Chain A
Amino acid sequence: MNYLYAAYAATWAIHITYLATLVRRHNRLKREIAELKPGLPR
């Protein structure tokens, strides 16, 4: 049973870690867009 739970937990740990990197990239991008807006040519 331990191996079964370890496998399921590992699967979700991998997926959640990847989703967390996507959220981090998204936040960084939002910051970059905010920095960019005042400097945009009119």
Chain B
Amino acid sequence: MKKAFPLLALLTAALLGYALYQALVVAPREQTMGDVQRIFYYHVPSAWTAFLLFFINFLASVQFLVRPNEKLDRIAGWVAIAVGAICCVADFAIRDLPSGMHHGSIATTGLAVTALYFAIRKLFSEPGVDILALVTAEVGVVFCTVVLVTGPLWARPVWGIWWTWDIRLTSTLVLWLIYVSYLLLRRFSTSGETPVLAAALAVFGALDVPLVYFSIWFFRTQHPQPVIGGGGAIDPRMLRVLMINWLAFLCFAFLVCWSRYRLERVQRDVEETQALEALLEPRSAVQ
């Protein structure tokens, strides 16, 4: 797996270059906004990647909290299965969804939650889920920063203003602040309970993710309506370029998370050895 990293990094770099070419050259020019609309090919995939990373952070934090208690762990597993089942039932039962929200998407999302929960449980040990939560929060904040920077750069020429205290924009800023405080807590707290406190904060912080995502469905907002599943029509060539860029950013995020995960594991091993060395030092001095 370690040997595959340089090859994957090379492939990702090529994919990112191809995606950039697609966004700048191949994608058609939008008629009303002109070339500035191409910011969309970086802004939207970055937002989706950040949401996905924060969601993984949520699942990893839940597992970190429930795993020490076997009963809670089992209940959480059943809740994950129930989420998938309820979403499938809701898909058939709910007739009137908000405009543009498709039935298949509810069942897919629910089943993805269940699958992701059990995949994390199978692949990561107890300290592993804590590291995964830290890593996904960190990389998620990086992607969320991109969203908050590219958004105003698009808004200035299109709306004539850099920022407005609209629900989509404000909830995204709140989301960013929540995860920055999560990282600050992990970085500067010296308490032994820090991972538990951080996991609890992450569980509450994740509640903001659906609020950000669905805000444009349920509230009147200045932010453009969703282009996929939101009733808005998008040129198939634009959609293709958007998906290529998302795939490229997903691969990039995966590689960054992987490197950061390995770095954190080694860091913890070193800290453990340093602590052991500090414990042994006085004894060897006495001898």
Contact = CB atoms under 8 A, between A and B. Distances in A.
A18 B256 contact: yes
Interface SS of chain A: helix, strand, loop or mixed? helix
A4 B270 contact: no
B284 to A, nearest CB: 8
A25 B187 CA distance: 14
Bin chain B's interface residue count. Answer: 20 to 34
Contacts of B102: none
A13 B259 CA distance: 19
A1 to B, nearest CB: 5
In this complex, the interface size class of chain A, counting residues with CB under 8 Å from chain B, is 20 to 34
B42 A11 contact: yes
Contacts of B150: 7, 10-11
A4 B157 CA distance: 10
Contact of A26 (B38, B256, B263, B277): B263
A32 B274 CA distance: 9
A11 B157 CA distance: 18
A22 to B, nearest CB: 6
Interface in B43-89: 43, 46
Interface stretch (B123-131, B141-149, B167-175, B199-207): B141-149
Contacts of B157: 3
Contacts, number: 69
A3 B277 CA distance: 54
B42 A7 contact: yes
Nearest to A6: B153
Contact of A29 (B46, B260, B266, B280): B266
Interface string B257-271: 001100100110010
B240 interface: no
B146 A3 contact: no
Contact of A14 (B38, B146, B153, B277): B146
B153 A32 contact: no
B39 A18 contact: no
A14 B149 contact: yes
A17 to B, nearest CB: 9
Contact of A22 (B38, B156, B260): B260
A15 B24 CA distance: 19
Contacts of B263: 22, 25-26, 29
Contacts of B43: 7
A19 to B, nearest CB: 7
B154 interface: yes
Given A14-B145, A15-B142, 5 more contacts: A4-B36, A10-B146, A15-B146, A19-B256, A25-B263
11 contacts: A3-B36, A3-B39, A3-B154, A4-B39, A8-B42, A14-B145, A14-B146, A15-B252, A18-B142, A22-B260, A39-B277
